[in-house]
Amino acid sequence: MEKRSKNWLPHSRQKVYEKVTEVTVPYLDANATRFGMEDTAVLGKWYKQEFSAKGYNPYVTAYAAWVNPETRTPIAIAAMREAEKVFLPYYRELYKLVKANPLVTDTDLEAMGFPSREADTPTPSPVAVDAPEFGVVPLVDHRLHIDYYPAGSKRKKGKPKGQHGAELRWAFSDTPIMNTNDLLNSVFDTDSPVVLDFSGDDQGRFVYFAMRWENTRGEKGPWSHIERALVP
């Protein structure tokens, strides 16, 4: 049996969508009875009431609006990112639950696009040695769009190996902030860009922020330099 990487989620948004909608969910639905996932079973209830209702269905709806050029508005883009943030933890939890199900074989796992039990062995996740680099783009409606990527990246996208995402800390200030401890607000993001939304009352104020990588074990790399941007 061929082993697969433990990091089984594709980096591409489209590839994730295709995997879950064309591979994982169809196979799981077709074999739900064999896996003991009837609506009355514990796993079946979770799959229907949590995974499907709260994660998968809103995610599919948001993707349809995001992928269509005619409906891909700033609101649809923001809704897609929020839907992903809710859905992806459900998707990872689904893998953990079906992997623990003795009725699910390794062949079934691979047919659903998951690593086999043999392939899913703990591997060290390195702590980032460099901070993210980033670029800031002001958007309408008092929003800041922050692209972040590995230091020195020519493509200006992606994450260093073993990194789950990036922490962004920020604060308003009328005077320069020199210490990250003074950045009192925190946001964690797993897929660049991260968007900060502000109110009209914040227009013209300076936001100071810094970023750092966090690996899959929650270990954090060094902070970037502190940058500032003006709320549009």
Angle of CA points 129, 130, 136, to nearest 5°? 155
Sign for the CA dihedral angle at 121, 126, 127, 128 comes to negative
Omega cis (within 30) before 193: yes
List, for residues 32-83, the tens digit of each pLDDT value: 999 999 888 889 999 999 999 999 999 999 999 999 999 999 899 999 999 9
> With b meaning 16 or more CB within 10 Å and e meaning fewer, what string describes 33-65?
eebebeeeeebbebbeeebbeebbebbbebbeb
- As a whole number of angstroms, the distance between CA 105 and CA 232 comes to 54
List, for residues 60-74, the tens digit of each pLDDT value: 999 999 999 999 998
Phi/psi for 149 (5° steps) reads -165, 165
Q: What is the pLDDT of residue 5?
A: 45
The model carries a pTM of 0.55
Average pLDDT, the chain: 90
Q: Which amino acid is at 214?
A: E
Phi/psi for 203 (5° steps) reads -55, 130
Domain 133-230 sits in CATH at 2.60.40.10
What single DSSP character describes residue 220?
B
Query: Of 217, 220, 222, which Cα lies nearest the Cα of 6?
Result: 217
Domain boundaries, the chain: 13-111, 133-230
